[in-house]
Amino acid sequence: MAAVPEGVSAKLEESGIGVLSTWAPQQFILAHKATGWFLTHCGMSSVVESLAEGVPMLAWPISGDQADNAALVSITLNAGYQLTEARTGSSGLRGLKRGVRPTGTVEAIQRETREILEKARGKDGGFKRANAVAIKNKIKTALKDDGEAITELNRLLVKVFPSEH
């Protein structure tokens, strides 16, 4: 539903390295070795899919649970960065619990984007990438037949459906 200006789409096409699509298989793209970072609104499905592939995120929350998920990714898991200056509207420009107060100006968004991209290309970005890969490995271990996730799921099923086991 996005309206991409003609000049932008033409520039992208001419570059030979970009693609505009109305739909793309997100999990397939995240699993590709060329995917370095994932720019996401941070819906929970996107967070899980990204971490399951070990891909760190650039979180750009818009509504709903996205801001909480972005904080989880960028602060708790330290597997990504959160764009705070890109927020808009009365709720988006409220101060965050960690003391950040977005202004939402074009200049602030440009500054923050440059800072994040610089960090992502450096030592800090490497640390966040390593955290994303470590989470991927934990997910894979938990999903093995004898892993924690499958073991606990089976335990729940026996509890809920005892006569079938």
CATH code: domain of residue 102: 3.40.50.2000
More confident residue, 64 or 122: 122
pLDDT bucket at 124, cuts 50 / 70 / 90: very high
Over 60: is that where the pLDDT of 139 sits? yes
Quick one: which of 146, 84, 131 has its CA closest to 109? 84
Q: Write down the pTM of the prediction.
A: 0.80
Over 90: is that where the pLDDT of 122 sits? yes
Print burial letters for 104-115: b (CB count within 10 Å at least 16), e (below 16). Answer: eeeeebeebeee
Q: Is 158 inside any structural domain?
A: yes
Q: How many domains does the chain divide into?
A: 1
Q: Is 29 inside any structural domain?
A: no
Q: What is the pLDDT of residue 57?
A: 97
- Structural domain containing residue 97: 35-164
Q: What is the pLDDT of residue 132?
A: 98
Q: Is 2 inside any structural domain?
A: no
Question: Could you tell me the sign of the dihedral formed by the alpha carbons of 99, 103, 109, 111, in that order?
Answer: negative
Q: What is the pLDDT of residue 143?
A: 93
Distance CA 141, CA 160 (A): 25
Q: Is 93 inside any structural domain?
A: yes
Strand extents, DSSP E, 4-82? 38-40, 57-59, 80-82
Q: What is the pLDDT of residues 14-46, one digit of tens each?
A: 998 888 888 889 999 999 999 999 999 999 999
Mean pLDDT of all residues in 6-17: 88
Q: What is the pLDDT of residue 94?
A: 64
Q: Is 119 inside any structural domain?
A: yes
Distance CA 67, CA 16 (A): 34
pLDDT bucket at 105, cuts 50 / 70 / 90: confident
Q: Is 63 inside any structural domain?
A: yes
Q: Is 110 inside any structural domain?
A: yes
pLDDT bucket at 158, cuts 50 / 70 / 90: very high
Answer for the pair 30, 49: CB distance below 8 angstroms, yes or no.
Answer: yes
Q: Is 149 inside any structural domain?
A: yes
Answer for the pair 79, 128: CB distance below 8 angstroms, yes or no.
Answer: yes
